[in-house]
Amino acid sequence: MELHWLTVKEAGELLSRGELGWRELFLGLRERIDRVDPRVRAYISLAGDDAISPPGGKGSLSGIPLAVKDNICTKGLETTCASKILKGFRPPYDATVIERLKTAGCVLLGKTNLDEFAMGSSTENSGLFTTHNPWDLGRVPGGSSGGSAAAVAAGECLAALGSDTGGSIRQPAAFCGVVGLKPTYGRVSRYGLVAFASSLDQIGPICRTVEDAALIMEVISGYDPKDSTSAPYPPLNAHELLSKEVKGMVVGLPREYYGEGLDPQVREAVMEGVRVLEGLGCRVEEVSLPHTPYAVATYYLVATAEASSNLARYDGVRYGLRAVGYEDLYEMYVKTRSQGFGEEVKRRIMLGTYALSAGYYDAYYLKAQRVRTLIRGDFERVFETCEALVTPTSPTPAFRIGERVQDPLTMYLSDIYTISANLAGIPAISIPCGFTQEGLPVGLQIMGRAFDEATILSLGHAYQGVTDWHKKTPPL
């Protein structure tokens, strides 16, 4: 039995029956990391020897080894956001999701790589190193949660946490052939998630199966008084998330997601996925989300403005990097931020600062917020007649490392199908639905109404019940 290809559900059953020991599972995954991570480079850091101690909790995930994106605070374990400016930072507290995972008995394997401060679509913007796609080591794993998706796909953990601001869970999940869920905004506490864009960020699971995503959501969801944006709802129930009847569901295909720029092989794989859903009894209708063409521009005004504000705290005064050789406080700020931030982070801070500046606020940021309202209205109207929407997750499969580094606009368009869900605050999931002729995974995205994770998870679970794309593993 290859322990590293177990699902969370399978491992949990073996552990509960005493047929597998948590230490055996943990060490098996550490051995797998030692063997393949020098090529994949999914991890920034690994948990120390103290991780090889009995699980702290006795909950539903007791003994399950997970990885965590390195922008989620872990007490005493370095949290860098893949940025030089936070090198050596060890938080004095755990994020709420980490507390809940520990209470459930999870064991932390380590922290995974990402685009610096979650700003990117390929993990090439990491201030430390680039992660490689396990299906083709010459290609990107997606971003910004590329390390988490690559770790799951490569069998270096059973599941991982990522964060999604404009597609950062779903797009890498699609590129790496795994499942990635962005919950409804407010469904999962953001306390302890290092902020990029506070009105868009959301933590979610990356796993091999939709069932595993439901099991993790059962643990990490629910109201948290430490997060002022946390929705006042109790934790989700995994069984209820997967048991909704899909026969008779009305599924919409937004025409704006199937037009120019969509790779023909991606389109064919997604449409085959739609035919599978029809075979399960879903009724498919073409719909329109007319303000979709404005989503990327809207996102890159709202997100950069919030990033400009959130990243002002990294100044070299209290923690993280402090430059040397300065004569006054102003020079220390300039040198620290110049040396500590990478080029993409600087670009977004400058864009956001400009959009918020006097004389431009109304023309850019305020107008973007108004368009965001229109985008949200599009979804509300469509969901009056549809229970879910099905689209490609990304317009292309994984691209080659270095291919888009000098072309930020093309890179930004990698998230054209995922951004709208963040702007509207709705849940969305990417599930594997096929491969290109080059053997690269393709992801199918399902979006649902706010706080209706049950519909999209039930659809995804039913789809995986009659397909086996999620069972494929890369030839590492």
DSSP 31-86: HHHHHHHHHH--EEEE--GGGSS--S--STTTT-EEEEETTB-BTTB---TT-GGG
Over residues 391-433, the pLDDT tens digits come to: 999 999 999 999 998 888 788 888 999 999 999 999 999 999 9
Has this prediction a pTM greater than 0.95? Answer: yes
Looking at residue 50, what is its pLDDT? 65
Helix or strand or coil: residue 416? coil
Catalytic residue, candidates 9, 69, 111, 182: 69
Average pLDDT over residues 288-293: 97
Would residue 102 show up in a list of annotated catalytic residues for this protein? Answer: no
Residue 53 pLDDT: 67
Q: Which of 43-52, 59-68, 419-428 has the lowest mean pLDDT?
A: 43-52
In the set 62, 83, 168, 230, the catalytic residue is 168
Structure confidence at residue 344 as a pLDDT band (50, 70, 90): very high
pLDDT (0 to 100) of residue 413: 80
Annotated active-site residue in 83, 121, 126, 144: 144
Q: Which of 180-189, 349-358, 368-377, 405-414 has the lowest mean pLDDT?
A: 405-414
The answer to whether residue 144 is catalytic is yes
Domain covering 3-245+428-436+462-471 in this structure, CATH number: 3.90.1300.10
- Distance CA(119)–CA(45), nearest Å, equals 20
Give the HSE-up count for residue 416: Cα atoms under 13 Å, Cβ half-sphere: 20
Residue 374, pLDDT score: 98
- For the chain, give the longest Cα–Cα distance: 70
Residue 385, amino acid = T
Where are the chain's structural domains? 3-245+428-436+462-471, 292-369
Q: Report CA-CA distances (Å) from 78 to 63, 89, 163.
A: 22, 5, 17
Provide the mean pLDDT of the chain.
96
pLDDT tops 90 at residue 29: yes
304 pLDDT more than 90? yes
